[in-house]
Amino acid sequence: MAKLRAVLLAAGRGVRMGGAGPKSLIPLDDKEPPLHYLLKALERTGITDLLVITGFGFRALEAYLSDHSEGLQVAYVRNTRFASWGNFHSVRMALDQSPGMDVLVLNSDIVIAPAVLERAVASDSDLVLAVQRRRRLEAEDMRVELDGDTVRAIGKNIKMVRSHGEFCGVSVIRPRAARVYGDIATSLQWTAETALYYEDVYARMLGRIGARATAVEEDEYAEVDSPEDVAGAMAVLEQHEQAWG
């Protein structure tokens, strides 16, 4: 069994949350910031190896993690291209630093129940995506088309009628999928297609590797992309308060 490493994608600025600092460090009303709950979720899942991809506000992130990452072995890679390249490059950097490992990739602007991480890690597919099934989707949602639990397509341009749910910012990349991801990312760099999401690379991987969805229940996930999203995050925290200790 491959060693498991968690990767936190924390390079972006988060302009819609004000842009003054990393949005993963902005408190949720009277609660802790999203990063606090992601660290707790890793603890509950038994993951001790964490690689953080930083960029904007990297000093603040490193300072916070220095004070709040007890029990974790934390390493950092700084993505100096965070402002000009898409986050596909952050994932590429993480995989390059994690040869032969199973990599649990986490967006840093989500509140997610620890049980979702446990289910994703337990799946043995080459690529695992945490997907919340629902028909009512917004234009900015990262949409997923499924056939049972097999992922057929992912992207913001999938037609609503073909969409079965939203990708929730949690994925597992196993070594075979990591090699394919690296090949595609290299070709994108050579052709200067650098303004892409990592999910765009996932979409190009489909058909070359096995990709399955793991379920996310309605009350297990919230993205915190703008101030209007805080209420949804608070609802998830209140519903699963005991899960974070």
Whether 207 shows a pLDDT value over 70: the answer reads yes
Q: What is the pLDDT of residues 73-106, one digit of tens each?
A: 999 999 999 888 989 999 999 999 999 999 999 9
Q: Kindly report the pTM of this predicted structure.
A: 0.95
Tokens 């390493």 correspond to: 75
Q: What percent of the chain has pLDDT over 90?
A: 75
Q: Nearest Cα to 237, choosing from 148, 110, 94?
A: 110
DSSP 3-state of 235: helix
Check residue 69 and give its pLDDT: 87
CB 5 within 8 A of CB 46: no
Task: Name the more confident of 134 and 18.
Answer: 134
Number of other CB atoms surrounding residue 31 within 10 Å:
17
How far apart, in whole angstroms, are the C-alpha atoms of residue 61 and residue 39? 13
Q: Is 233 exposed, middle or buried (0-12, 13-18, 19+ CB in 10 A)?
A: buried
Over range 160-185, report the average pLDDT.
96
Check residue 15 and give its pLDDT: 59
Over range 8-12, report the average pLDDT.
92
Whether 195 shows a pLDDT value over 90: the answer reads no
Check residue 29 and give its pLDDT: 87
Check residue 20 and give its pLDDT: 65
Tokens 């009350």 correspond to: 219
**Which residue type occupies 62?**
E
Check residue 194 and give its pLDDT: 87
Model confidence at 60, in pLDDT bands (50, 70, 90)?
Answer: very high
Model confidence at 19, in pLDDT bands (50, 70, 90)?
Answer: low
- Dihedral over Cα of 111, 114, 115, 118: its sign: positive
Instruction: Extract the tokens encoding 74.
Output: 């934390």
Task: Name the more confident of 90 and 242.
Answer: 90
Q: What is the pLDDT of residues 108-124, one digit of tens each?
A: 999 999 999 999 999 99
For each of the domains in the chain, give its residue range(s) and CATH number, in order of start.
Answer: 4-237 (3.90.550.10)
Cα distances (Å, whole numbers) of residue 211 to 54, 76, 144, 182, 208: 27, 28, 12, 16, 9
What value does the mean pLDDT of the chain take?
Answer: 92
Please measure the distance between the N-terminal and C-terminal CA atoms of the chain and give it in whole angstroms.
29
